[in-house]
Amino acid sequence: MVRAGPLAVLLALAAPAAWAQQGPRDVVVVEGDAIPEPLATRPGDAARGRAIVANRSVGLCLLCHSGPIPEERFQGTLAPSLAGAGARWSVGQLRLRIVDGARLNPDTIMPPYYRTTGLRRVARTFEGKTILTAEQVEDVVAYLATLKE
Amino acid sequence: MRTAWIALGLASVFVATFALAQGAADKRRSGYQDMGEALQKMQDDDTANPGMLFVQLGEQLFGRPAGAANKSCADCHGAGSMKGVAARYPAIPKDADKPVDLEGRINLCRTANQRAEPLAPESRDLLSLEAYVAFQSRGQPIAPPSDPRLAPFRAQGAEIYRRRQGQLNLSCAICHDDNAGKKLAGVTIPQAHPTGYPIYRLEWQALGSLKRRLRNCLIGLRAEAYAYDAPEYVALELYLMDRAKGMLLEAPGVRP
């Protein structure tokens, strides 16, 4: 995320103060390299978030990442470990990285979990849908924020 | 005269060293090298490789007359004449302007020469004929034709390979070029060289084509898979075969 700093500055220059993206049901406001405000009114729940992260067909996280979820034996090595994510990033920074990591690094392999635009040949079943709902993003953020080491 | 011999000797030493260096520099790996020893043994042992049952069935079908012409494949293609064929497909058939893959070529023979109905994609008979033909190229290096008319199709394949697709917004290249060898959910990502098709995939409990494998990946990306007869698959196959040029065919391969 070395590129995050300069790019965030560019974004700030391009759209003074803040910039808005039309999500499927919310306006998402990005400030710098973070989304400070929750996407949903219901507060995120870390236990639900953990279950989403562990689920290979919902969160998909452990396909690429490893994490402190020992009961899931088959974890990925394509991306950094989720351990310590809550120490490395603020809640708002975690939120933007899940919502649309390409805002920080256009070459990222991290799928955009809360974006429906700019995608090609999305399967009909998933067309117009985000990978996670706003509530699910909040749950995952709440879980990752607990991973302090 | 003596000088000439020394020069020739030095030249052959150079050629041999160069070939060795090429071999060492070639970082390409068949999926075979990334799978466990038990599966490698299953592929290597013709009595244990499930793909060999399809090769046997294919051999029978090859000799059986079909269609209004009541001709068999073997009536035109004598014993052993299919050697090397699978190593160079997709190719542009005579009098055509678009490439077809091996399955397309088999169906072209069926409709044009046997005057029979084309075989359905992924049907047992089509896969068996393909397995029988591909088996005859086992051990042969992949050798795409030099036909310049293939270039634009191959370039289209390369473009699709690098294009991000689907809800997960990933490309073939992201996994199979940039992250090959790493673990996706505990499974080693292969370099995606089409060395063993048609393959018997344990996950399928069936023999399947490269198209079926490509569709699996597209579905994994949550992308809309192309129809079975889409030219995009042939373009991708052309690109992948070119990328695997010189690697040895293993058909019928076994994969997890």
| Region of poorest pLDDT, from A36-50, B9-23, B131-145 | B9-23
The pLDDT of B155-174, averaged and rounded, is: 98
Kindly provide the ipTM of the predicted complex, given to two decimals.
0.85
Q: Is the pLDDT of residue B17 over 80?
A: no
Residue A27 — very low, low, confident or very high, per pLDDT cuts 50/70/90? confident
Domain count, chain B: 2
Q: What is the span of the domain harbouring residue B233? A: 29-48+141-255
Residue in chain B lying closest to A123 (CA): B224
Residue A2 touches chain B, beta carbons under 8 Å? no
Task: Provide the pLDDT for residue B9.
Answer: 54
Give the CATH number, domain containing residue A85: 1.10.760.10
Residue A109 touches chain B, beta carbons under 8 Å? yes
The answer to whether the Cβ–Cβ distance between B164 and A60 falls below 8 Å is no
Residue in chain B lying closest to A111 (CA): B168
Q: Considering only the beta carbons, identify the residue of A62, A73, A131 that sits closest to B167.
A: A131
Among the candidates B81, B106, B135, a domain finishes at B135
Strands B253-255 and B199-201: parallel
Kindly give the residue spans of alpha helices, DSSP state H, lying in chain B: 2-25, 31-34, 37-44, 51-62, 73-76, 85-88, 102-108, 124-135, 151-162, 172-173, 210-220, 231-243
Q: What is the span of the domain harbouring residue A55? A: 4-145
Q: Considering only the beta carbons, identify the residue of A74, A75, A122 that sits closest to B223.
A: A122
Task: Provide the pLDDT for residue A12.
Answer: 37
Q: Are residues B244 and B202 in the same domain?
A: yes
Q: Are residues B202 and B188 in the same domain?
A: yes
CA atoms within 13 A of residue B174's CA, in its CB half-sphere: 19
Chain B residues within an 8 Å CB radius of A131: 167-168
The answer to whether the Cβ–Cβ distance between B170 and A112 falls below 8 Å is no
Q: Are residues B33 and B148 in the same domain?
A: yes
Residue B19 — very low, low, confident or very high, per pLDDT cuts 50/70/90? very low
Tell me the C-alpha distance between A86 and A94, whole Å: 8
Domain count, chain A: 1
Handedness of CA A125, A131, A136, A138 (dihedral sign): negative
Q: Considering only the beta carbons, identify the residue of A76, A121, A122 that sits closest to B185.
A: A76
CA distance A119 to chain B (A): 6
Q: Are residues B100 and B176 in the same domain?
A: no
Q: Is the pLDDT of residue A9 over 60?
A: no
B76 labelled catalytic: no
The two three-digit tokens of residue B191, written as one number: 């370099």
CA distance A16 to chain B (A): 28
CA distance B198 to chain A (A): 26
The answer to whether the Cβ–Cβ distance between B185 and A74 falls below 8 Å is yes
Residue A12 touches chain B, beta carbons under 8 Å? no
Residue in chain A lying closest to B170 (CA): A109
Among the candidates B118, B135, B152, a domain finishes at B135
Average pLDDT over chain A, rounded to whole?
87
CB B92 within 8 A of CB B147: yes
Q: What is the DSSP annotation of B236-252?
A: HHHHHHHHTTTPBP-SS
The answer to whether the Cβ–Cβ distance between A123 and B167 falls below 8 Å is yes
Among the candidates B101, B135, B169, a domain finishes at B135
Residue B216 touches chain A, beta carbons under 8 Å? no
Task: Provide the pLDDT for residue A2.
Answer: 37
Q: Is the pLDDT of residue A112 over 80?
A: yes
